[in-house]
Amino acid sequence: MHLHILGICGTFMGGLAAIARNAGHTVTGCDANVYPPMSDQLRALGIELTEGWDASQVDLKPDVFVVGNVVTRGNPLMEAILERGLIYTSGPQWLADNVLRDKWVLAVAGTHGKTTTSAMLAWILDDARMRPGFLVGGIPQNFGMSARLTDSPFFVIEADEYDTAFFDKRSKFVHYRPRTVILNNLEYDHADIFPDLAAIETQFHHLVRTVPGNGLIVSNGGDANLDRVLERGCWTPVERFGGEGGWTAGEVDANGHFDVFFDAALQGRVLWNLIGEHNRMNALASIAAARHAGVPATVAIDALSRFENVKRRMEIRGAVHGITVYDDFAHHPTAITTTVEGLRAKIGKARILAVLEPRSNTMKLGVMKAALPDSLADADQVYCYGANLGWDAAEALAPLGDKARVFDNLDKLVSQLVADARPGDHVLMMSNGGFGGIHAKLLDALHHHYHEDIVLTPMHRYGGYA
């Protein structure tokens, strides 16, 4: 089968392309901007890429056009597909029909933590020699790839609530038909497609309706929004984590280690260096889901001691003159809060210089702007890149007083960071995009300022971006 994928450089569609290629299909694709690292990963698989949406791509005559949700009506290639009556489908639908149909699907849904929890779950199964396939919205460092296809009956997928395609406005996750599903948490997000929280809850309940009676729902016991979803109807056993019963975490020690309990019975102790309450909750959920697939809790807990996290989750990109630069995907006020709090717990009284790019569609609309000051309150200095926003970032961050500054020029922001940063500081970059390569720019600028070698991480050394 020949697939031509529209929007192939997105994380999900690029992962789907890799899986299709692994399955022996011919794969080509296009996107508005074809750029590394996804373009390099895809070309290494022998996938021919076209930049832009030129209608002449219909002459490739694929068996099916697989359409990403970045594609809208008015797109020249899509209009040509429609006018000629050519066969097309969505990415989630193609995946469901051609990959997931005969698999034990373990899906991870929720507003926050999907990528990390999916990576944990895939690693636990892999460490238990179950060799799962997976499709994750990031690059788990244990695997070095965002997607793979194996002959294992198990497949772990990050189950996104974002819409499927311009012709299918259901959430992606309703296509996956999981046997095991994790519901991590639920908040209002994706303001560009959901009018309110109730609309998202309805989509989550559609997901609940697809889980069989011999399946398992692993749900956050401390999330009232998820409780409300399940109260609308549930036909599947539920195990809860993070609340007063079910799966719980003991007190964390100075190293980030903690005990795991199920119904008050000790299961083992997680020995790792990840930080933050959110990661402990991710761990509980992944241990519970893996147990449903046949991995004893003790084995899962041991596997997590070798979990290396996902790129762009509190990833240290480098250090110069005692100034450490981090990269994190946080782009929602709740995620920003947990990221800053987690770093604070790790470094104590050292200074945090928080650098934010409000880049997601929800953030660009300004829906969450009122929550930003509180989410950044634990940082010592705040720098916001406010270009191309439809709202006044300086006004929104005014409650933070003098410790917040807004820039519409990236080079000026970097210059200010160089002037302000001092040895022992921790510079925390937060964005769900490339942020204009600010991490490398800052490290290089600090190097020239202090005439000191950069302690590089691999991502900075090779100029890549996850």
- In this predicted model, what pLDDT tens digit does every residue of 35-60 receive, in sequence order? 666 778 888 888 999 999 999 999 99
Q: What pLDDT was estimated at residue 103?
A: 97
Rounded to the nearest integer, the mean pLDDT of the chain is 89
Nearest to 272 by CA among 281, 261, 285, 283: 283
Percent of the chain with pLDDT over 70: 94
Query: Does the structure show a pLDDT above 60 at 458?
Result: no
Domains of the chain: 2-93 (3.40.50.720), 102-304 (3.40.1190.10), 315-461 (3.90.190.20)
Question: What pLDDT is recorded for position 273?
Answer: 80
| Range with the poorest average pLDDT among 208-217, 322-331, 418-427 | 322-331
**pLDDT mean over 212-223:** 96
Between 334 and 171, residue with greater pLDDT: 171
Q: What is the mean pLDDT of residues 138-146?
A: 84
Q: What is the pLDDT of residues 225-271, one digit of tens each?
A: 999 999 999 999 999 999 888 999 999 888 889 999 999 999 999 99
pTM of the full predicted structure?
0.78
Least confident of 230-239, 289-298, 443-452: 443-452
Please determine, for residue 363, whether its predicted confidence score (pLDDT) is greater than 80.
no
Mean pLDDT is highest, among 164-168, 196-200, 344-348, for 164-168
